[in-house]
Each structure stands twice: as structure tokens, then as C-alpha cells.
Amino acid sequence: MGRKWNNIKEKKASKDANTSRIYAKFGREIYVAARQGEPDPVSNQALKVVLERAKTYSVPKHIIDKAIEKAKGGGEESYDELRYEGFGPGGSMVIVDALTNNVNRTASDVRAAFGKNGGNMGVSGSVSYMFDATAVIGVEGKSEDEVLELLMEADVDARDILAEDDNVVVYAEPDQFHSVQEAFRANGVTEFSVAELTMLAQNDIQLSAEDQAQFEKMIDAIEDLEDVRQVYHNVDLGE
């Protein structure tokens, strides 16, 4: 499962060069989550998840505060949460989650990003059955045994615990996301290298150099779309 963590790292690293775009997307995501319930992460679990992710991407506090204040002020912007599924070069599979105020525009843009880069859109369910919704929480400064012990003491189940590079990464059911974090916090860990509710492929694939180049171009085109929130795939991008 280590390759999956590398894929997440690769995604995070690729976004470092586009921080303003990423911050804008987080602003929208935080606003939408805050409007789904109370604009307070203590009582709004969806907002809490988004804020945990935002922290791992170093989203500035003023952007977070602005989005929450906008939600508190009763902003009238309305967004739909959409999921698209498709195929890329070499048998690659892709899931695209979006937040949009114009469904037709987003569908057209995502379809074009697939089609212009060797891929094609699929129907709902054509890809997602090969992925599992997963909570992924990574920390530094702990061993696998230490993490296993603290999770057992907190009565928290995990699918897997792996040492990967300088991190220990916990893979768990989505409903264990906060429980895993609280178990760490109870043991003095307050910073997370990754805190994601993601879709992980059941089986990763490797592409030829040519197909991978085209695949990465396709993913870049999709992620560059303003309405796209998250992109998941089954390609092992390597180190």
C-alpha cells in the first residue's frame, strides 16, 4: 500500500507550484462545508475534515477565516457536489470530484480534459467500484509499533499501519478519521503530514513512459479546472 501514499505525496508536491489556485479551491470547499451545518468545526464534522486537510496544505489562516465568515454571513452562492469517472492511457482509471455552480460547464470542461489527453469519460460506477473510500493519516516521529499501541489503547481500528519514508501512515475506514487523529493527539501528536479522506485504488498499475507522460498531462489538465476539488487514480507514479 506504500505506493498509494507516494501517489498522495506526488499530488501534494505537484500542487506546491500552484498555491494560489489551491488556496482558492480550499476557500470554496471550506465555504460549502461551513454552510452544510454550523460554521464551527466542533459541531460540523464535514468542516472539520476540510480544515484538517487544509492544514496539511499550509492554507493560510486568513483564507480559512474569510471562507467561514462568508458562510456565517449567509452567502448566497450555491454549489453542487459532483463526481465524474473516466479512463486514461494504458488502462488507467480516474475519479474526479468537483464543486460547481454551473453543472453544464463543469461536465463539459472535465470531458474535454479527458478527451484531449487520450482519455474518455465513463458512466457513473464504471470506475469507482475499483476504489475504496479510505482515511489516510500520516505522522512523523513515531514507529509502527508505537502507533499500533496507541491505536489499540484508544480502541481504534486500522486497515493497515506502514512506515513509509519518514512517516508512519495509518489507513483506516472513513468513519475512523477523527478517532485516529484523537488517538494521536492524546499521545502528544498535533501535526499531521497527511490527513485525507480519499479514494484509494484496490490495485495500482504502472504505465509505460509514453503512457505515463500522457496520463500526467491529462491529470494536470483536470486538476487545473477551477471546479475540480479532488482527483483520484490507480496509477503508481513511483518515487
In this prediction, residues 36-54 reach a mean pLDDT of 89
Q: Which band of pLDDT confidence, cut at 50, 70 and 90, is reported for residue 77? A: confident
pLDDT-derived band at 58, boundaries 50, 70, 90: confident
Q: What is the pLDDT of residues 9-43, one digit of tens each?
A: 555 555 555 678 888 899 999 999 998 888 888 89
| Residue extent(s) of CATH 1.10.10.200 domains in the chain | 2-72
What does the pLDDT read at residue 2?
45
Q: Cβ contacts of residue 101 below 8 Å, gap of 6+?
A: 77, 78, 79, 80
Distance CA 36, CA 45 (A): 10
pLDDT average, residue stretch 85-103: 95
In terms of phi and psi (left: phi > 0; alpha: psi -120 to 50; beta: otherwise), the region of 93 is: beta
Query: What is the structure's pLDDT at 109?
Result: 97
pLDDT tens, residue by residue, 192-238:
988 999 999 999 999 999 999 999 999 999 999 999 999 999 998 86
Averaged pLDDT score across all residues of the chain: 89
**The domain defined by 2-72 carries CATH number 3.40.50.2300:** no
Report the 10 Å Cβ neighbour count for 146. Answer: 14
Nearest 5°: phi and psi at 92?
-70, 150
DSSP H or E stretch at residue 46: helix 45-56
Task: Look at residue 84 and tell me whether its pLDDT is greater than 50.
Answer: yes
Which residue would you say has higher pLDDT here, 5 or 183?
183
pTM: 0.87
Asked if 135 contacts 53 with a C-beta cutoff of 8 angstroms, the reply is: no
Mean per-residue pLDDT for 140-166?
91
The angle formed by the CA atoms of residues 60, 227 and 18, to the nearest 5 degrees, is 45
**Across the strands, what pairs with 131?**
201
- CATH superfamily for domain 80-129+203-233: YebC, transcriptional regulation domain (3.30.70.980)
Q: Which of 236, 232, 137, 120 is nearest to 190 (CA)?
A: 137
* Region 103-121 average pLDDT: 96
C-beta separation of 195 from 180 below 8 A: no
Alpha-carbon distance of 25 to 115, in angstroms, equals 24
- What is the arithmetic mean of pLDDT over 132-149? 93
SS3 122: strand
Beta bridge partners of 197: 135
The four Cα atoms 40, 41, 45, 49 give a dihedral, to 10 degrees, of: 140
What is the CATH code of the structural domain delimited by 131-201? 3.30.70.980
Cα gap 30→63, rounded to integer Å:
9
Instruction: Examine the pLDDT at 3 and tell me if it is beyond 50.
Output: no
pLDDT at position 203, please?
93
Strands 131-140 and 194-201: antiparallel
